[in-house]
A and B are shown apart, each in its own frame.
Chain A
Amino acid sequence: MILFILKRLLFVIPTLFAVSIVAFAIIQLPPGDYLTTLMADWASQGGAVEAGTVAAMRERYGLDQPIYVQYYKWMAGILTRGDFGISFELGQPVTNLIWNRLGFSFLLAFLTLCFVWALAIPIGILSAVRQYSITDYSATFMAFFFLAVPDFVLALVAMYVWSTYFGQSVGGLFSAQYIDAPWSWGKFLDFVNHVWLPVFVIGIGSLAALVRIMRANLLDELSKPYVTTARAKGMSEFELLIRYPVRLALNPLISTLGWILPAVISGEIIVSVVMSLPTTGPLLLRALLAQDMYLAGTLILLISVLTVIGTLISDILLAIADPRIRYQ
């Protein structure tokens, strides 16, 4: 078991290394760099810039060096000093800007996962046990509907409905008076009041997918011979269901964490922009538009790191849940 975890941890290192390269490369993909964007901005406002100024700035930001040197400097800063570089646009170290938002991002992702799992399992079970019943057909219809609706559309519709018909403030994770206030009971209640809508919007697509997976897994398990064996023991139908087929159907569900987590994170980024949540989403969008490379790169890198860790956790959970994997 310990060997298994160590092995998985060892795999994490090259994965993260590859992710960092890809993240850096993606940011370099569009033509030009932060300064070209900046110049274009200035030019559109009527300002003329001398070529010498641009060259001087490029040198100051290190943008005149080859890409691999820039990457090396960035990586060296992260690994040796925990220094993720400076945001060009905001003129601040990236570290100062992101931690708070990253925290909210992951809180939101975590809450979404809890929401998704807590609902997907019972609905999936019901759908499988009552296969081809009204319950099953309704669950199936809803699942396909929400799978098909893009989450940003859902976010817009939800916000519209909630504010027009219920007159509630939408957007953000807090009411105006609590945004900069220290944590208190009131702020917590306000947070709970706000957070459920984004959680619902981000999670519903994954929820639909998980319901389908749970249903399919369970249908497979229900016809397995060990279920008949348990029935022949004289076990009651409900105990039998929970103890055997459901328990076994959960195993593949655990491994879905590996792709549900990235889905939730990317959904969160898009939905956050629409609902203006104080998470990494809006910040990342702005950084990408401005080609603010260190900020964008760091965000992508950290989101990926946390996703890889999430996948690692799902691997470990699966090993705990399934002895067959543990003993391999």
Chain B
Amino acid sequence: MTGPADKELLLQVKDLRTHFPTRTGVVKAVDGVSFDLHRGETLCVVGESGSGKSVTARSILQIVDRPGRIVGGSMNLTRPDGTVTDIASLDPRGRQIRAIRGREIAMIFQEPMSSLSPIHRVGEQMGEMLRIHFGTPKPERRRRVIELLNHVEIPRAETAIDRYTFEFSGGMRQRVMIAMALACNPNMLIADEPTTALDVTTQAEILALIKKLQAEHGMAVMFITHDMGVVAEIADQVLVMYHGKVKERGPVRQIFHAPQDEYTRMLIGSVLKLEKKAEIRERRAPVAEDAPPLLDVRNLTMTFDGGLKAVDDVGLVIRPGETLGIVGESGSGKTTMGRCLLRVYEPSGGRIDYRRADGSVVDIAAADKKTLKSLRRDIRMIFQDPVNSLNPRKTVAQIIGEPLALSGMGRKERDARVADLMAQVGLEPAWRERYPHAFSGGQRQRIGIARAIAVKPRLIVADEATSALDVSLRSQMLDLLLQLQDELDLAYIFISHDISVIRYICDRVAVMYRGRIVETGPTEEVTRNPRHDYTRALLSAIPHPDPDDRRLQHRFRYAGASES
């Protein structure tokens, strides 16, 4: 990549301020942001949730949702013919800004499902771009749309053009979005977390596609993301945002190897921390291989009513005090499998042998209601979504105390136990009377963990427990789980799509693909020397947070591994 110095300036943003007036005061979502974007360059805007990166992107097209408004600053767009327009000064509903939207600066969004209308045909939505800006007649529009669909490698473009978005997979929809954005050959593409909702293998393909198209069209790309791995893979320049302000900006190598700002250092640090095994685990003695298994799953099968085999002949062993990771992409059946273990879903076949504390073995798959109730005290769950898995009408004390009340503990004793539990997961016991909405995402997940450990379980099934959290919180949460494991002698089944999380916390890992387990082994061994081709493809599709070691270009593809 050539440096920005020998490239023409495309967009110069100076002191941009976008505010949201609310009843409780003005929210300064973007507070004095400045940056330059050069032709053909990729600028990654990175930050955690609430940093204002998305609002910055939307401000450029003046499509900030109400009541947000640009209150100051300038955004000078330089055209190839040398004319300059200050976008910030344009009327957000006027003709001039509309001529820029889509024509000169196009944008793609995070959720490719909801960002396209479900009831209009794909071709119609794409063709609109040409109709609005060039008034292209219908037959030519259709020809051009098919051309675009071919360009983004959508198979059978001639029939795909007349289909609806819900008939496409997530990756395909994002391809459609990209094709649409390219319709008018824009000078600049804004991509707002375009791969966040996608699987890693699909993400790798979409990133490669954007890179390829960028090289062909000479576009500038402004890429919004929270994933430092993605940044390292694609960025030329990086803008680090925090609370609406720019913390640091510079070339990607400088940001990763010599970060100046403290926040940037913390961000890079927490990403790099997750690249290795957790420190707590380094100190531990290895789990005894010959210990009798806590849970022994054999030939577990679960078929949905429609005939879909979500879990197909799965076998797993987990020993006391061990952490087993289940890794796989969406649709691999990992969540369904986790729920079968607690009989949230009824397995259609197989055995789940659980060894009680007294040494007796019981088959969960065949357990009756009463046994199941007692088993659910031993095996608990932590969910992905810390917002929706807590009842908003109950106080934290009630939420954490619920399993205790169900086990028949008296009120006084329960109160004391709740306070202990809160302290144990790092929450202030004085907050017990508050409701979940008063807590941040990370704190809510701590509440979920406190609820799970309340009745002293022996096994916890954690389903994507850290996926909704920002990266800086993620390692804290994982450390908490490891610390609790030491204190309470817990075993975890850790379901995740995120290999770095698995590598950090898990002793052993099982890789799931289309309902089957394709590979099991010690985490180190599986991540270093994967035996199965799918595991290799999965591992090589993960963005690596080191701009000097961009791996996605050389990644390994597994035939049929990806939905795109």
Interface residues of A (CB under 8 A from B): 223-226, 228-237, 244, 247-248, 251, 321-324, 327
What string of 1s and 0s marks CB contacts (under 8 Å) between B93-131 and chain A?
Answer: 100001111110011010100111111100000001100
Residues of B within 8 A of A323 (CB): 118-119, 164, 166
CA distance A226 to B177 in the complex (A): 11
Set A233, A247, A251, A324: member contacting B102, Cβ < 8 A = A233
A248 touches B101 (CB 8 A): no
Would you call the interface of chain A mostly helix, strand, loop, or mixed? helix
CB distance from A224 to the nearest CB of B (A): 6
Determine how close the nearest CB of chain B comes to the CB of A213; give it in whole angstroms: 18
B90 CB-CB contact with A under 8 Å: no
The answer to whether A234 touches B98 (Cβ under 8 A) is yes
Name the residue in A231, A236, A244, A248 with the highest tally of chain B Cβ atoms < 10 Å from its Cβ: A231
Q: Tell which of B98, B100, B119, B167 touches A322, judged by Cβ atoms closer than 8 Å.
A: B119
Give bound CA distance, A251 to B109, whole Å: 25
Write the chain A residue with the least CB distance to B95. Answer: A236
Nearest B residue to A229, CB-CB:
B115
CB <8 Å contact, B132 and A327: no
Question: B518 to nearest A CB, angstroms?
Answer: 32
Chain A hits for B114, CB < 8 A: 224-226
Nearest B residue (CB) for A325: B119
Could you list 11 further interchain pairs (A-B, Cβ under 8 angstroms) beyond the known A226-B118, A234-B132? A224-B114, A228-B65, A231-B101, A232-B61, A232-B106, A234-B103, A234-B129, A247-B117, A248-B119, A323-B164, A324-B166
A-B contact pairs, 29 of them (CB 8 A): A223-B65, A225-B109, A225-B114, A226-B115, A226-B116, A226-B118, A228-B109, A229-B109, A231-B101, A232-B61, A232-B63, A232-B107, A233-B128, A234-B98, A234-B102, A234-B103, A235-B98, A235-B128, A237-B93, A244-B120, A247-B117, A247-B119, A248-B117, A248-B119, A251-B119, A323-B164, A324-B118, A324-B119, A324-B164
CA of A327 to CA of B103 in the docked complex: distance in angstroms? 34
Residue of A229, A247, A324 touching B116 (CB-CB under 8 A): A229
Q: When chains A and B are docked, how far (Å) is the Cα of A68 from the Cα of B260?
A: 90
**Interface positions of B from 57 to 103, Cβ below 8 Å from A:** 58, 61, 63, 65, 93, 98-103
Q: Is B133 an interface residue (CB 8 A)?
A: yes
- For the complex of A and B, the 9 pairs showing the least CB-CB separation, nearest first, are A234-B101, A234-B102, A233-B102, A234-B98, A225-B115, A232-B107, A225-B114, A226-B117, A229-B115
Hey, which chain A residues are within 8 Å of B111, CB to CB? Answer: 225
A248–B165 CA distance with the chains assembled, in angstroms: 14
Are the CB atoms of A327 and B164 closer together than 8 Å? yes
For B128, give the chain A residue with the smallest CB separation.
A233
Give the docked Cα–Cα distance between A236 and B405 (Å). Answer: 58
Interface residues of B (CB under 8 A from A): 58, 61, 63, 65, 93, 98-103, 106-107, 109, 111, 114-120, 128-129, 132-133, 164, 166-167, 177, 180
B115 in contact with A228 (CB, 8 Å): yes
CB nearest to A323 among chain B residues: B164
Minimum CB–CB distance from B64 to chain A (whole Å) comes to 10
Q: Could you say which residues of chain B place their CB within 8 Å of the CB of A236?
A: 98
Shortest beta-carbon distance from B178 to chain A in Å: 12
Which residues from chain A contact B109 at a C-beta distance below 8 Å?
A: 225, 228-229
CB proximity of B545 to chain A, nearest CB, Å = 29
CB of B401 to closest CB in A, whole Å: 36
Contacts known (A228-B65, A327-B166); A233 close to B101, Cβ less than 8 A? yes
**Given contact pairs A223-B65, A228-B109, A323-B164, A234 touches B115 in the complex (Cβ within 8 A):** no
B103 partner residues in chain A, CB cutoff 8 A: 234
Task: Contact check, B132 vs A235: say whether CB atoms are below 8 A apart.
Answer: yes
CB pair B117 A244 closer than 8 Å: yes
Contacting residues, chain A, for B167 (C-beta < 8 A): 327
| B60 nearest CB across to chain A (Å) | 10
Closest to A131 in B: B66
Tell me which residues across on chain A come within 8 A of B177, comparing CB atoms.
229
Contacts of A244 on B, CB cut-off 8 Å?
Answer: 117, 120
Q: How far, in whole Å, are A230 and B107 apart by their CA atoms in the complex?
A: 10
| B128 / chain A contacts, CB cutoff of 8 Å | 230, 233, 235
A230 to B126 alpha-carbon distance, docked (Å)? 10
Which one of B101, B118, B120 lies within 8 Å of A232 (CB-CB)? B101
Q: Which residues of A contact B166 (CB under 8 A)?
A: 323-324, 327
Contacts of A230 in B (CB 8 A): 117, 128
CB distance from B92 to the nearest CB of A (A): 9
Chain B residues lying within 8 Å of A321, measured Cβ to Cβ, are 119
By the criterion CB–CB under 8 Å, are B99 and A234 in contact? yes
Please, which residues of chain A bring their CB within 8 A of the CB of B93?
237
Chain B nearest CB from A238 CB (Å) reads: 10
Query: A231 vs B105: C-alpha distance in the bound complex, in angstroms?
Result: 12
Residue of A nearest to B103 (CB): A234
Q: How far is the CB of B2 from chain A (nearest CB, A)?
A: 30
Question: Which residues of chain B are within 8 angstroms of A223 by Cβ–Cβ distance?
Answer: 65
In whole angstroms, what is the CA distance A8 to B103 when docked? 46
A234 to chain B: closest CB distance in Å? 4
Q: In the bound complex, do residue A233 and residue B115 qualify as a contact, i.e. CB atoms below 8 Å apart?
A: no
CB-defined contacts of B180 to chain A, threshold 8 Å: 233
Alpha-carbon distance between A323 and B122 when the two chains are bound, in angstroms:
12
Q: Kindly state the separation between the CA atoms of A228 and B119 in the bound complex, as whole angstroms.
A: 16
Does the CB pair A234–B117 fall under 8 Å?
Answer: no
Q: Report how far A225 CA is from B177 CA in the complex, Å.
A: 13
In the bound assembly, the distance between CA atoms of A235 and B129 in angstroms comes to 8
Partner of B132, one of A226, A229, A233, A324: A233
Pick the contact of B129 from A224, A225, A233, A322 — CB < 8 Å?
A233
- Nearest A residue to B104 via CB reads A234
Nearest-CB residue, chain A, relative to B105:
A232
Task: Output the least CB separation between A180 and chain B (Å).
Answer: 50
In the complex, A229→B115 CA distance in Å?
A: 6
Chain A min CB distance to B153 (Å):
21
Q: How far, in angstroms, from A221 to B297 measured CA to CA in the complex?
A: 46
Looking at the assembled complex, report how far the CB atom of A136 sits from the nearest CB atom of chain B, in whole angstroms: 15
A232 to B129, CA, bound (A): 10
The distance from the CB of B63 to the nearest CB of chain A, in whole angstroms, is 5
Which residues from chain A contact B98 at a C-beta distance below 8 Å? Answer: 234-236
Nearest B-chain residue to A237, judged by Cβ: B93
Residues of A within 8 A of B119 (CB): 247-248, 251, 321-324
CA distance A225 to B125 in the complex (A): 14
Complex Cα–Cα for A324 and B121 (A): 11
When distances are taken between beta carbons in the complex, the residues of chain A under 8 Å from B129 are 233-234
- In the complex, A51→B180 CA distance in Å? 87
A239 and chain B: residue at smallest CB distance: B132
Cα distance A200–B61 in the bound complex, in angstroms: 46
The distance in angstroms between the C-alpha atoms of A233 and B183, with both chains bound, is 10
Which residue of the partner chain A has the closest CB to B165?
A226
B200 to chain A, nearest CB (A): 23
Of all chain A residues, the one with the shortest Cβ separation from B177 is A229
- Give CA–CA (A233, B177) in the complex, Å: 11
**Minimum Cβ distance to chain B for residue A8 (Å):** 20
User: Residue of B at shortest CB range from A221?
Assistant: B117
- Rounded to whole angstroms, the CA-CA distance of A234 and B114 in the bound complex is 19
Alpha-carbon distance between A298 and B487 when the two chains are bound, in angstroms: 77
Question: With A and B bound together, what is the CA distance between A323 and B117 in angstroms?
Answer: 11
Q: Smallest CB-CB separation from B63: which chain A residue? A: A231
Distance A224 CA – B103 CA, assembled complex (angstroms): 22
Distance between A149 CB and nearest chain B CB, rounded to angstroms: 35
- Measured CB to CB, the closest approach of chain B to A325, in angstroms, equals 10
Report the minimum CB–CB distance from A222 to chain B (whole Å). 9
**A251: which B residues are within 8 A, CB to CB?**
119
Complex Cα distance A232/B128, Å? 12
Q: How far is the CB of A135 from chain B (nearest CB, A)?
A: 17
User: A298 to chain B: closest CB distance in Å?
Assistant: 41
